[in-house]
Amino acid sequence: MSSAASPPSPAARLRGLKPDWLSDPKVWRTEILGGLVVALALIPEAISFSIIAGVDPAIGLFASFTMAVTISLVGGRRAMISAATGAVALVIAPMNREHGLGYLVATVILAGVFQIALGALGVARLMRFVPRSVMTGFVNALAILVFMAQVPEMHDVPWAVYPLLVGGLALMVLFPKVTKVVPAPLVSIAVLTAVTVAAGIAVPTVGGKGELPSSLPVPGLPDVPFTMDTLTTVAPYALAMALVGLMESLMTAKLVDDITDTRSSKTRESIGQGIANIVTGFFGGMGGCAMIGQTMINVKVSGARTRLSTFLAGSFLMVLCIAFGPIVSDIPMAALVAVMVMVSFATFDWHSVAPRTLKRMPAGETAVMVITVAVVVASHNLAVGVVVGCLTAMVVFARRVAHLAEVTPVTGPDDGTVVYRVTGELFFASSNDLVGRFRYTTDPDRVVIDLSAAHIWDASSVAALDAIETKYRQRGKAVEITGLNVPSAHLHGRLTGELTG
């Protein structure tokens, strides 16, 4: 007689709870190297965003450290990088300029509170209303912005920058054909740094962007009076930062979902972004959100897929600044520019602008994509472009669906009756001209409106049907509405006769 299977031992249960990277050396190596490449790319970006916000470079670097480390623990999207960003810097720069650093830090903390509240209220569910054409426009605009951000580093610089840039791009294209064990961007950065230092080539370096911090950030409260006056001053900026940060983070999370063919909790991501900003504020950072360029380096170029790479990106950032500051300062900007140019090229959806695709794609879809790209590039704000793109897509959709509503008179059961068959979706755009589709004067005394092939979506459609009945009644004719499906009948029964005085 066979004995019953024994329950798993505590050690076996613990092994079952281990993340994949703890037991797979290949994953471990990919995550570590991916985090290191991202950390190197974060340093000049964080310094640049600090300048935009009008704060010391250390403030941006501290924010990138605390955002990345915190979001790796509480965020919803694995392998996504959050740090100080240009979008957030633009929103909070006026606060720092007009009221000082203490108010900026208070804004970051309150923005985090708003993001937690919005996440708990389900704002992440709004992502389902972002159409594919807007998402494509978002991706293409992102690639253009990443490239445009590198242009100043290629303008009015020593001639040696250009061969270094070409050499960095060549290394990233050719090195993966030799081996993919080490990320090509890391090899490119190391080789170009070694060449410039050994040959004594004078080119712009990371150190030229600003002084790196020499110690870890210390937690503390913002230096502001805790009064209602302070709250009313900070709240508008905090809400704007919360919305911009969530929009950019959720769009980036959705993009990574598509690239990795995995799903993530957008609600958890929203709340996680809020927690990360609160932590960042208490450590004196300038706040942030998901970084699209660095996320693409981590996910698409390095192949990272776990929270370890995000955690290490923030950790390596501080280690590089504090322990290896002099070495990091010698990295030529040409090496990092080459990495970002390669990222922009890989991020752009070239299939979306191929002549064959444009020929087959409906004109409205293409228009939405182009408008999204144009607004993002013009405003340098991904959130504004996505909102305008979504509004444009709604208008295009409404116009398209509105034309599908048809009114067709058919033969009635007798000479004293006419039947109108209405087909399509009835809502504000399609029902506006519904009233003019009937022959009020010449129709017989009994009119039947058959809605079995239609659906009523809003009060505008009920008001239009009421107007039709009124026009017939004024001429002494009876109207019968038939064929309503259950939702349409419920809406019509609740609103008919109640929409006019």
Burial of 156 (0-12, 13-18, 19+ CB in 10 A): exposed
Q: What is the three-state SS of 390-458?
A: HHHHHHHHHHHHHCCCEEEEEECCCCCEEEEEEEEEECHHHHCCCHHHCCCCCCCCEEEEEEEEEEECC
pLDDT for position 306: 92
pLDDT for position 92: 87
pLDDT for position 372: 92
Query: Can you tell me whether residue 84 is helix, strand or coil?
Result: coil
pLDDT for position 304: 92
Question: Scanning the structure block, which residue is given the tokens 């190596």?
Answer: 29
Q: Per-residue pLDDT tens for 242-277?
A: 988 998 899 899 989 999 999 999 999 999 999 999
Strands (E) located in 11-126: 82-83
pLDDT for position 470: 92
Is the separation of the CB atoms in 77 and 62 below 8 Å?
no
How far apart CA 107 and CA 239 sit, in angstroms, is 9
pLDDT for position 382: 73
pLDDT for position 97: 87
Burial of 430 (0-12, 13-18, 19+ CB in 10 A): buried
417-426 and 289-290: which strand pairing? unpaired
How far apart CA 372 and CA 193 sit, in angstroms, is 38
pLDDT for position 9: 58
Question: What are the residue ranges in the chain where pLDDT is below 70?
Answer: 1-23, 412, 500-501
